[in-house]
């Protein structure tokens, strides 16, 4: 079974590599120290600190494995891959909410580096998927939990 290719921007690749390095060099050591301290308390059968530290260790190791797999299957989105005429991976798109007239900008990225708080939405999200292939002037309708939202594409990568 082949593993799924993970498309990343240069920034996203760097962020994941830095997170992996931090987990391997800092977090692993911190968790190991917590386990060692918890073992010093004695009996581990009713040792909440030990259980908590072991759970954290499992989380850290799971995240390390996931990041290593993602990076092993990563393909960098090059500048040539980023289109300026239509919305695609790596493009920045300026939208206008047709109900409230608000304007905002998103960058379309893979699910591996999606971060809505930083205005990076996944190409697999409802809005991201609806935007793919659209041009300035196009309108999309997306069903969301509160109903249907309508956006108009104003610009792609700063171009109208």
CA distance 51 to 115: 31
Domain assignment of residue 1, yes or no? no
* Residue 98 and residue 53 share a domain: no
* Predicted local confidence at residue 1, as pLDDT: 47
* Predicted local confidence at residue 158, as pLDDT: 53
Q: What is the CATH number of the domain that holds 64?
A: 1.10.287.180
Domain enclosing residue 57, as ranges: 6-76
* Residue 111 and residue 62 share a domain: no
Domain assignment of residue 105, yes or no? yes
Structural domain total, the chain: 2
* Predicted local confidence at residue 75, as pLDDT: 87
Residue 129's alpha-carbon distances to 46, 65, 109, 123, in angstroms, are 49, 28, 11, 5
| Average pLDDT per consecutive 10 residues, the chain (160 residues; last block may be shorter) | 78 92 96 90 79 94 94 84 83 94 94 91 94 95 91 80
* Predicted local confidence at residue 160, as pLDDT: 43
């Amino acid at each position: 079974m082949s593993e799924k290719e993970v498309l990343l921007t240069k920034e996203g690749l760097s962020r994941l590599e830095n997170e992996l390095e931090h987990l391997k060099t800092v977090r692993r050591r911190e968790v190991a120290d917590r386990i060692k301290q918890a073992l010093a308390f004695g009996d581990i059968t009713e040792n909440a600190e030990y259980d908590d530290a072991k759970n954290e260790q499992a989380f850290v190791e799971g995240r390390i494995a996931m990041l290593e797999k993602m990076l092993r299957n990563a393909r960098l989105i090059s500048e040539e891959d980023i289109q300026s005429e239509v919305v695609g991976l790596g493009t920045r798109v300026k939208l206008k909410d047709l109900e409230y007239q608000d304007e905002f900008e998103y960058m379309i990225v893979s699910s591996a580096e999606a971060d809505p708080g930083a205005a990076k939405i996944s190409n697999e999200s409802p809005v991201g998927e609806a935007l793919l292939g659209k041009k300035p002037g196009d309108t999309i309708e997306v069903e969301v939990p509160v109903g249907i939202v309508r956006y108009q594409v104003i610009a792609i990568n700063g171009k109208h």
